[in-house]
Amino acid sequence: MSKLLHTRRFQRGIQDYKILPSNLESKLHFSPVLSYSIPLVEFVVGLCLMSGFLLVPAALLTLMLFALFSGAILLNLLRGRHDLSCHCGGALGDHRISWWLIGRNGLLMGAIFFLLLTPTDIFTVDKLLRSPSAGSAAMWMSAGLPVVLLVIGVCAVVLLFNTARSVLHPE
Amino acid sequence: MILVCISPSSFCLCSYYPFAYMRDKHLVNCANSIERLYFLLVSVLLLRLHIRLSGAPIMRFPIDVFSVRLFLRLLVGLILLSAE
């Protein structure tokens, strides 16, 4: 989430990958657009996956994100730039790019394929909305509220982690 | 129910201090590894909470497709939300 607050730093990270030629990059303003859109998509998609809201589009977007990240890493590995930071951050940590990262992203993509190919689990917002009792206050109190509380709780914890980290290790 | 929802968050908050301490002592790699394991643990806790709240018959089976789906959803969701 702190990518959204530190877009300049993330933009420099994207530019480090050198995906587009520099003349094309200056014309298309590729990295400023990505520095805003990627964190936003990550945030929305993360919430959707956890709550089970619009699960299939969220899973497809996640798949596209991991494919984009893996493609960028692969391109730089083939160029021999092994000293480049992956700028992954968060729970995944920050490492230099390597084949291991491609494998890790492959495993995460496998997890998303599994979500797409298996039947929807019962405790998702999608399932709640499609149930016959959808819309009743009792249903939302008994099932919707815990999901909302969970999502808010997790967001608060992640935000606190990032704030504590930036206080302890100011750049 | 609210208490059950809040408990993983409080657990997260209370156990953040060891990571902060280790980073202060420059044991950054160690702190990062433990933190990653910790995120996995939080995912498992949230999974158990999800199953408990749903009151579903999947409680009878330790592992099934639905449990794996829930675990993966929470894990990937946490990874994306925590991405710095």
Contacts of B47 in chain A (CB under 8 A): none
- Interface touch A111/B72, C-beta < 8 Å: yes
**Least trusted range by pLDDT, from A30-34, A35-39, B4-8, B47-51:** B4-8
Of B78, B55, B25, B56, residue with least CA distance to A168: B25
Question: A150 CB near a chain B CB, below 8 Å?
Answer: yes
**A70-111 confidence digits (pLDDT tens):** 998 898 888 888 777 777 765 555 667 888 888 888 999 999
Residues 76-115 of A with CB under 8 A from B: 88-94, 108, 111-112, 114-115
Which of left, alpha, beta for A53 (phi over 0: left; psi -120 to 50: alpha)?
Answer: beta
Contact B6 A43 (CB under 8 A): no
Residue B7, pLDDT score: 45
User: Exposure pattern of A76-112 as b/e (b: 16+ CB <10 Å)?
Assistant: bbeeeeeebebbbbbbbeeeebeeebeebbeebbebb
A83: phi then psi, degrees, rounded to nearest 5: -90, 5
As a dihedral over the C-alpha atoms of residue B37, residue A58, residue A116, residue A101, rounded to 10 degrees, the angle is -40
Q: Which residues contact A114 (CB under 8 A, 6 or more apart)?
A: B68, B69, B72
**CB–CB of A52/A126 below 8 Å?**
yes
- Residue B84 pLDDT class (50, 70, 90 cuts): very low
- Torsion (CA) A120, B37, A145, A141 in degrees, nearest 10: 70
Set of chain A residues whose Cβ sits within 8 Å of the Cβ of B41: none
Predicted pLDDT of residue A67: 92
* Percent over 90 (pLDDT), chain A: 8
Give ∠ CA A150-A151-A156 in degrees, rounded to 5.
100
For the stretch A101-157, pLDDT in tens is: 888 889 999 999 998 888 877 667 777 677 665 556 665 555 555 566 666 666 676
Kindly report the CA angle at B77 between B15 and B46, in degrees rounded to 5?
Answer: 50
User: Are B53 and A123 a contacting pair at CB < 8 A?
Assistant: yes
State pTM to two decimals: 0.64
* Residue from A119, A136, A137 nearest A52 by CA: A119
Provide the β-strand partners of residue A96: A85
Residue whose tokens read 């990270």: A13
Greater model confidence, A166 or A57: A57
